[in-house]
Amino acid sequence: MKSVVIEQPGELVLADRPLPAPAAGEVRVKVQFASICGSDVHIWHGHNPFAKYPRVIGHEFFGLIDAVGEGVDASRVGERVAVDPVVSCGHCYPCSIGRPNVCKELQVIGVHRDGGFSEFAVAPAKNAFRLPASIPDKLASMVEPFTIAANITAFLKPQPNDIALIYGAGPMGLTAIQVLKGVYGVEQVLVVDRLPERLALAQENGADRVFNNSDIPLAAQLEGVQPTLIIDAACHPSILAESAALASPAARIGLLGFSGEPCSITQQALTSKELSLFTSRLNSNRFPQVIEWMEKGLIQPEKLVTHYFPLAEIERAMTLFEKDPRTCCKVILHMG
Ligand SMILES: [Zn+2]
Ligand SMILES: [Zn+2]
C-alpha cells in the first residue's frame, strides 16, 4: 500500500509499505479521505516533540472498515467510519475521569503511531465511529478538527449572551466560530487575525465582527467592548496577557496553543477580574457529539475546505497548506 512516511525530520516520501493486519481489538480502515492539519506539517519539519520517526502521518481521516482483528464484531466490515486519533490506556487517572486525551500513556494516531495518510490504517475498534449516510464521504475527515472546538467549548460553556472573541481565523478558529454560533447560539462572535482573506472566511463561517490587528492593536479597535469568553486559536504566547487585559471581569479564557515559549502575565491580571483559564488538547470522546452536530446541520464543514488533492500530490498539498494561508484553509487528500 502507498503511505506518506516522514522518514526523519524534513524527509517526506510516498512509500510502499506492507498492508498492516489489525491486532486484537483493532479494525483496519481502507482510507478514502484525509485532511491535512498544522501538526502534520510540524512532524514533517521536526517540530513536534512527541513524534517518533519514521512515521506515517495523518490523524484526520475517514474510510471503510475492511478487516477486523480478534474479538471485533465481523459485521463491522464495510462500515463507514471516522477515526478518533486519541488512543488511551483506559485505566490511569485521566482515563478514569473521562479525559483520555491526556492519558498518561497517550498514543495519538499519526503522531505516536502510524496514521491515515495511507491507503490503509489500523486503529482500535472503539476509535472507529460509524457515520450516518447524511455525512458525505468527502467531508467526513472533518469530524476530527471540529472535535477540537467541541472540547474547548465544553470547558467554556458558552451562553447566548456571551461576547466571544476568537484569536486566529485558521481552521481551529473557524471551527470554533461555527460551534459558538451554530451549536451554542452565541449572539456576538468577534474574530481577530492579520490576514484579510482569513477574516473574510471568518465572516463566511459566521463571525459577527472581524478585526485586523496587523497595524492597529485590538484594544484600540474594541472601543471598550469587553469579551466574556475568549479562545486563543492563534496560539502565540503573547495572547494570554492581551486576553486577560481585554477580558470582562468573570470572563473565561480557553487556550489551545502548544508553544514552548514562556508567556508573561501577572497573578493580578488574572485574579483581579477572577478570570477562569481553561486549556484543551485534542478531544475527549467528542466524536459522537460532532457527528450529531453535522447530522443536524448545526455546523458546515464544507465552509472550511478549499482544496482536494490525490494522495500522490501530498508534497504539493502540504506545501500549499503551509505556505499559502491566504487562499488555502482545509486541504483534503483523496486516496482512491
Ligand atoms: Zn489536527
Ligand atoms: Zn490512560
- CA 99–ligand 2 middle distance (angstroms): 8
Residue type, position 330, single letter: K
- DSSP class of 234: S
Ligand nearest to the CA of 90: 2
CATH architecture of the domain covering 2-130+304-334: Alpha-Beta Complex (3.90)
Q: Which three cell numbers stand for residue 150?
A: 467541541
Say if pTM beats, i.e. exceeds, 0.85: yes
| Other Cβ atoms closer than 10 A to 237 | 15
Residue 336 confidence (pLDDT): 77
Q: Is 43 helix (H, G, I), strand (E, B) or coil?
A: helix
Quick one: which of 111, 34, 22 has its CA closest to 72? 22
Nearest ligand to the C-alpha of residue 106? 2
Cis-peptide into 9, omega within 30 deg: no
Q: Contact, 170 vs 325, CB < 8 A?
A: yes
- Cα 274 to middle of ligand 1, angstroms: 32
Residue 50: per-residue pLDDT: 85
Q: Hey, what's the cell of 249?
A: 471581569
71, three cell numbers: 474479538
CA of 223 to the centre of ligand 2 (A): 46
pLDDT of residue 43: 97
Give the distance (Å) from ligand 1 centre to CA of residue 59. Answer: 6
Tell me which ligand sits closest to the C-alpha of residue 48.
1
Looking at all shown ligands, the one closest to residue 89's CA atom is 2
281 C-alpha vs ligand 2 centroid, how far in Å?
A: 14
Task: Tell me the CA–centroid distance for residue 102 and ligand 2, in Å.
Answer: 7
Q: How far is the CA of 15 from the centre of ligand 2 (A)?
A: 32
Select from 3.30.360.10, 3.40.50.300, 3.40.50.720, 3.40.50.10860 the CATH code of 147-279: 3.40.50.720
Q: Do domains 2-130+304-334 and 147-279 have the same CATH topology?
A: no
Report which residue type is found at 233: A
| Ligand number, closest to the Cα atom of 97 | 2
Q: How far is the CA of 271 from the centre of ligand 1 (A)?
A: 33
Q: Where are the domains of the chain?
A: 2-130+304-334, 147-279
- Closest ligand relative to 35 C-alpha: 1
Looking at all shown ligands, the one closest to residue 41's CA atom is 1
Cβ burial of 263 (10 Å; 0-12, 13-18, 19+) is: middle
| Cα 159 from Cα 109, distance rounded (Å) | 33
CB 26 within 8 A of CB 79: no
Ligand having the closest approach to the CA of 39: 1
Distance 97 CA to ligand 2 centre (A): 10
Sign of CA dihedral 209, 210, 216, 217: positive
Q: How far apart are CA 164 and CA 190, in angstroms?
A: 6
> How do the pLDDT tens digits run along the chain, 336 residues long?
999 999 999 999 999 999 999 999 999 999 999 999 999 999 999 998 888 999 999 999 999 999 999 999 999 999 999 999 999 999 999 999 999 999 999 999 999 999 999 999 999 999 999 999 999 999 999 999 999 999 999 999 999 999 999 999 999 999 999 999 999 999 999 999 999 999 999 999 999 999 999 999 999 999 999 999 999 999 999 999 999 999 999 999 999 998 999 999 999 999 999 999 999 999 999 999 999 999 999 999 999 999 999 999 999 999 999 999 999 999 999 997
Neighbours of 274 (CB within 10 A): 9
- C-alpha to C-alpha distance for 4 and 2, rounded to whole angstroms: 7
Residue holding cell 485505566? 91
Q: Which ligand is nearest to the CA of 283?
A: 1
Query: Which of these, 289, 245, 292, 291, lies nearest to 264 by C-alpha position?
Result: 245
